[in-house]
Amino acid sequence: MAARGHGCLDALERQSLDYEEQEEKIAGLRQDREERKTYARLYYKLVERWVCWLIVLLLAQGIFMAAAKREFLSDSVMMMTLGTTTATIVSILIAVGKYLFGESKKEKSR
């Protein structure tokens, strides 16, 4: 009988450990979700400011051309600036998006 009681205790201990493990997983998922929200907000602010800078640059080019009848920046410089910044924004968006919202470790193992 003593061995039988000991087996119940082991089962309860295992069940308790399983419960604690599940609580830790849930806490980790909550932390991941909060971190994703934080980084998504930061990335949004970065892109927002970057796009505002591009708008200011385009407006300065247009105003300068209208007022001075000449270019603020040459066409090639404007094209390079718009092209490279747009490519950079898109590549950062893809990298951050994959990191923040990619498959979880559990989904990858399937």
* Residue-level pLDDT at 24: 92
Crossing angle for the helix pair 2-68 and 75-101, to the nearest 10 degrees? 170
pLDDT surpasses 80 at 13: yes
> What is the C-alpha separation between 76 and 95, in angstroms, rounded?
28
Q: 53: which 2 tokens?
A: 């800078």
Which residue, 101, 84, 110, 89, is CA-closest to 43?
89
> What is the C-alpha separation between 57 and 63, in angstroms, rounded?
10
pLDDT digits (tens, 9 = 90+) for 20-79: 899 999 998 898 888 888 888 888 898 889 889 889 988 888 888 888 877 777 888 888
pLDDT surpasses 60 at 11: yes
pTM (2 decimals)?
0.59
> What is the C-alpha separation between 97 and 90, in angstroms, rounded?
10
The one-letter amino acid code at 61 reads: Q
Contact 9, 1 (CB under 8 A): no
